[in-house]
Amino acid sequence: EKADLLPHLQFLASQMNFLDIVPISAETGLNVDTIAAIVRKHLTEATHHFPEDYITDRSQRFMASEIIREKLMRFLG
């Protein structure tokens, strides 16, 4: 319940120096866009560590072994 949450949020705000306190709901999606915008606002621009067309820094051999491992885990439980 929202009414039960408000005193808890006020307590947290009094104990810590948060920049923002945003209650979100994974079930309804409430404020998910808001929290994403706040996170983006605090991120800094950085240079790419890898070329833009790289998907991973792992070798094809490693990726193949991970796919095989995943499939085995799914089929064997």
Q: Which residue has the higher pLDDT, 2 or 30?
A: 30
- How does pLDDT run across 25-75, given as a tens digit for each residue? 889 999 999 999 999 998 988 888 888 888 888 999 999 999 999 999 999
At residue 50, the pLDDT reads 81
Alpha-carbon separation of residue 42 from 20, 23, 33, 39, 47 (angstroms): 11, 18, 15, 5, 16
**Mean pLDDT, residues 18-30:** 90
Domain boundaries of the chain, sorted by first residue: 2-42
pLDDT confidence bin for 76, thresholds 50/70/90? very high
The kind and range of the H/E element at 62 are helix 60-76
Produce one character per residue of 3-23: b if its CB has 16 or more CB atoms within 10 Å, e if not.
Answer: eeeeeeeeeeeeeeeeeeeee
Residues 6+ apart with CB under 8 A from 24: 30, 31, 32, 34, 35
